[in-house]
A and B are shown apart, each in its own frame.
Chain A
Amino acid sequence: MDEMLNEFLAESAEQIEAASAQIVAFERNPADAALISSIFRLVHTIKGTCGFLGLNRLQKLTHAAESLIGQLREGAKATPAVVSAILAAVDRVKLMLAELEEAGREVEGDDSDLIELLERHVALCQGAVIEEAQAASEPAKAAVAETHEPATGEATQGKRAETIRINLDTLERIMQLVSELVLTRNQLIELTRHKDDDSLKSPLQRLSTMTSDLQDAVMRARMQPVERVFANLPRMIRDLANELNKKINLVTEGADTELDRQLIDLIRDPLTHLVRNCADHGIESPEERLRAGKPATGTVRVVAAHEAGQITIEISDDGRGLNLDRIKEKALALGLTSKPQLERMSDDEISRFIFAPGFSTAEKVTSVSGRGVGMDVVRENIQAIGGSCALTSKPGEGSRFTLKIPLTLAIAPALIVEASGQRFALPQHSVVEAVGLNGGEHKIECVQGSKILQLRDAVLPIGSLAELLNLTAPAERAGAPEPLAVIMRVGAQSFGITVDAVTDVQEIVVKPLGGSISHLSNFSGHTILGDGSVVLILDPNGVCRSLGLEQSRETAAANDEGPQSAASDKTRLVHFRAGSGVDKVLPLSSIARIETVNSSRIEYSNGMMLMHHQGRLMPIVAAAPDVAINEGDNTVFVISPYGEPFGLLVDSIVDIVEHRLDVEIGGDAPGVTGAADIGGKVVELLDIAWFFDLLHLPQERPKDRKSRLLLVDDAAFFRDMLAATLQAAGFEVVKAGSGAQALGHITRDPHFDAVLIDVDLPDGSGFELVTRLREGGARAEMIALAPYATRDIVRNAEAAGMAGAVGKFQRNQMLDLIHACIERRQVEAPESFTGVAA
């Protein structure tokens, strides 16, 4: 019996959640008969089970709710009052279920108020519905419904019968065992690494692969769609809209994005809070919106997506945006900053103040939000799980919060650093870069007793890890300065710690600290490395606090960081080794997946390396001529630039860094766009287009004279990548980094067959540039370039008299568009503009 009750509780909790979301959806879309039938079925199932288990109170209430829903199904109008009544009943049922779970039996109580309300609505509906719906026929109908509904219910259950419920503890236990298995395997590998015993190697290899697969499978079992968090948002938005007299439309996307269940629970509160904030502070009243020329109904969007091993959740609204003036005032009043500092800050930096503790600019305190607790807690919670929270806002257009969340808490990439002979793991998510201090270029200075590191334009607080942790240095090293600074970022705060060495980068299995040392704020857990030794995992937040960097000083740091991020042309780069030359980089955005591929999965055919990837054969190229397949695991980047994936075989990944990329074209080696400098180290940026062409060699190339293109893009990376792509397609390309440069090219020689313009240029929009270039004498067709050719961009391009717009990564569309432009130009006016040149 108990077991049945538990089963019932678990199932009902889900059903009731689903029902309330569906009721809100139905209110908006009353024509959806399938929806109301589904709601009816959900409530009906609960009612039926309650009757079976002898839960009388629940049964009575659900029966009343069911009758009213039945009326809706018969065609009665879903007025807000009716929906509110049903939602009230749903809430009561939820409450009763919670009590039931706690007490193990139904708690006494009186629901006559609600039942009466529901019955009154039923009566009203019956009156309002067509006269034929006489009371007499009602029981008969209900009876019919009761005999039919369970059948359909079973049918739908039959479809998803391939799942079973597992006790959470069981799953956790499996996860724990797998973690330990991973550690044991790592130890075994470490032990046999230096031994040439082939009889051991192959079974160990198999064990290794299977362990990885098992780990993957268990992780996947713990994954749940974020839908679980999204499900209660429609209801919340509806209630908020009613309470605040606003019209709000909620759009959710990517509800099927999966996340570790532990994380799902942890992001629920922050996410709910942000959505609430958007609805309360962001969206204006309908009148205000109409006055501002916006539709009366505001939109709150919640979009979840996978991105490079983490989940991004964006919460945005099209409301009024942040009131920067109010924030400035408040920041000054709270003493968080000074006037001169404020003047130097960008809008984004000013917006960041809302994450300061006790910061609330709501002029009226509503019951919804605006009590000044919140944003700081939101960010703290997100950071606590290794995530980040960013914010952008445009006055009058709305604001957007971007949460980045790791896929799981249990396993994380970490740097292994050494200080005073002891090793520590440092979670990679908070590491920005490592800087060598011996070169003399960067050195630590003491300013008023505090250590400071000047790094490019930034002034960073820095501390010695050994001093911070009171480690005693081994005698032979005492007094020697630590040669390496690891720069970290926690929220808006950047800081550095000095260490003796970074010895390794490893995926670590995070284990919580035992109770006797869990109070140590510098550490978030511990783990066992491949060699069997135990290391403590540093907690960046704790280290930040230990350095004496409190939240209130955050503004100063945000300011230091300012010039760096203001000029940000930063790209997330994968830093890796391939071949014997210098290290290579590729923008993370260009890599669809990073796969570890066993050598047995790579086959040769026709002189080409191939592997099975998502059910298809995918070609693989080596990233450098001297990269060869290793026995065992190989690292392959799956790159899918034009919708056709191919693999790039590399030796090993060094790091993922966020860095400004200034390419100085070298161009001597094939497949290399050029050399760049990241953090004082020379790396080569690979040219994806070259590798792509290598695989698709016999390309159609225009045989006639080379058409000449002008390419305007301020980002060096895109300029070079696109130029390479276009040149490979047989065009002559002239590059310009700004509107002014482009105009210079046009006035010198207007003979271009087409002009490609990035819509977002530092000196004005690309659309404005069209007019300027035309005035300057350009006669060629113009094409707008954007990261993605959204509908807005296409429309704007059309309005500006451009031939079209295309996404920067859409190579085929881009080439088609260019060819179309050139053809049209040749047909219309063959070479007749010579007289125009200045």
Chain B
Amino acid sequence: MSFEPAKISVHGAGNALEGFFSIKVGDDTFGLPVTRVQTIFRIGAVTAAPGGPPDIVGLVNLRGKIVTAVSLRRRLGLAPEPGGTADGSGSLAIGIEHRNEAFALLVDEVGDVLTLTAETAIAPPPHIGRRRAKFASGYNRVGGQILPLLNIDAVFDFAEDR
């Protein structure tokens, strides 16, 4: 069920190349640096954290370590995944460490690893809403599609939500 990124990050062999997972929530696809991903797993039971930021689904036991589970759907203001559980248990999650805290980012799907270069980067489209724009740290055009890169700092910074 879970696999380690080390096995697939071999993709990026060139110098200026960087590997990115393409992750999907709803109709959105984001790029996430392979180097930031510690593991990908399906979470078990979720323990709610009453009073915590609403986008935090709760706490999850990842192989004996307690990680904070964050729903990317909620974070982006999307509707819950159709067919998903109410508390997020059983969702697909990406293990990411951010500022010494272990997080599990709940997503719908993890796709291929894409290789991005400086040439594929484009300027941010100007009309994106402020609430959404802060979650993208850059934009790329790959294979005719626009791929925003996930701004991990913004995703896991809940200072505004308190």
Contact = CB atoms under 8 A, between A and B. Distances in A.
Interface stretch (B3-11, B42-50, B117-125, B126-134): B42-50
A514 B97 CA distance: 11
A533 B47 contact: yes
B51 A470 contact: yes
Interface stretch (A218-226, A233-241, A429-437, A518-526): A518-526
Contacts of A515: 99-101
Nearest to B99: A515
A533 B48 contact: no
B158 A522 contact: no
B45 A469 contact: no
A184 B65 CA distance: 10
Interface residues of A, number: 26
A775 B156 CA distance: 83
Nearest to A519: B162
A534 B56 contact: no
A533 B56 contact: no
A534 B50 contact: no
A516 B52 contact: yes
B59 interface: yes
Contacts of A184: 64
Interface in A123-147: none
Given A534-B60, A534-B66, A516 B50 contact: no
Contact of B50 (A469, A514, A526): A469
Contacts of B52: 516-517, 520
Residue from A423, A517, A520, A533 with most neighbouring chain B CB atoms (10 Å) = A517
B29 interface: no
B139 to A, nearest CB: 27
Contact of A180 (B51, B60, B65, B103): B65
A532 B49 contact: no
A533 B162 contact: no
Contacts of A523: 49
A244 interface: no
Contacts of B71: none
B84 interface: no
A180 B44 CA distance: 18
B56 to A, nearest CB: 6
A797 to B, nearest CB: 59
A535 B56 contact: no
A532 B48 CA distance: 15
B44 A522 contact: no
A613 B121 CA distance: 72
B102 interface: yes
A469 B68 CA distance: 18
B66 A528 contact: yes
A469 B158 CA distance: 20
A825 B57 CA distance: 81
Nearest to A533: B45
Interface in B42-92: 44-45, 47-53, 56, 58-61, 64-68, 70
Contacts of B66: 511, 514, 526-528, 534
A422 interface: yes
A471 interface: yes
A536 B61 contact: no
Given A520-B52, A533-B61, A534-B61, A514 B102 contact: yes
Contacts of A532: 44-45, 61
A516 B47 contact: no
A594 B13 CA distance: 61
Contact of B47 (A180, A469, A519, A535): A535
Nearest to A423: B47
A527 B59 CA distance: 10
A532 B101 CA distance: 20
B58 to A, nearest CB: 8
A405 interface: no
A470 B50 contact: yes
A471 B68 contact: no
B64 A469 contact: no
A180 B100 CA distance: 17
Interface residues of B, number: 28
A520 B161 CA distance: 13
Residue from B52, B56, B67, B162 with most neighbouring chain A CB atoms (10 Å) = B52
Contacts of A516: 52-53, 56, 68, 70, 101, 103, 156, 158
A638 interface: no
A183 interface: yes
Residue from A511, A520, A522 with most neighbouring chain B CB atoms (10 Å) = A520
B18 to A, nearest CB: 27
Contacts of B100: 515
Residue from A423, A511, A528, A536 with most neighbouring chain B CB atoms (10 Å) = A536
Contacts of A520: 49-52
Interface string A495-533: 000000000000000010011110110110011100011
Nearest to B69: A534
Given A534-B59, A536-B59, A517 B49 contact: yes
Residue from B67, B68, B99, B102 with most neighbouring chain A CB atoms (10 Å) = B68
A519 B158 CA distance: 11
B68 to A, nearest CB: 5
A184 to B, nearest CB: 5
Nearest to B55: A516
Contacts of B99: 515
Contacts of B64: 180, 183-184, 187, 528
A177 to B, nearest CB: 10
Interface string A449-479: 0000000000000000000011100000000
A422 B49 CA distance: 10
Contacts of B60: 534
A469 B51 contact: yes
Contacts of A527: 66
B74 to A, nearest CB: 14
Interface in A524-554: 526-528, 532-536
Contacts of A534: 45, 47, 58-61, 66
A514 B47 contact: no
Contacts of A469: 50-51
Contact of A522 (B47, B50, B162): B50
A527 B57 CA distance: 17
B57 to A, nearest CB: 11
Contacts of B48: 422, 471
Nearest to A528: B61
A522 B49 CA distance: 10
Interface in A170-190: 180, 183-184, 187
A527 B47 CA distance: 11
A356 B30 CA distance: 55
A183 B158 CA distance: 29
Contacts of B51: 469-470, 520, 522
Residue from A471, A515, A516 with most neighbouring chain B CB atoms (10 Å) = A516
A187 B158 CA distance: 32
A637 B52 CA distance: 43
Contacts of B61: 528, 532-534
B104 to A, nearest CB: 11
Contacts of B45: 532-534
Contacts of B156: 516
A183 B45 CA distance: 16
A526 B52 CA distance: 14
A516 B57 CA distance: 12
A526 to B, nearest CB: 5
A423 B52 CA distance: 16
Given A514-B101, A534-B66, 9 more contacts: A422-B48, A515-B100, A516-B70, A517-B56, A522-B50, A528-B64, A528-B66, A533-B61, A534-B58
6 closest A-B pairs by CB: A469-B50, A514-B101, A534-B47, A534-B59, A517-B52, A180-B64
19 contacts: A184-B64, A187-B64, A423-B47, A469-B50, A469-B51, A514-B66, A515-B99, A516-B52, A516-B53, A517-B49, A520-B50, A523-B49, A532-B45, A533-B45, A533-B61, A534-B45, A534-B58, A534-B66, A536-B49
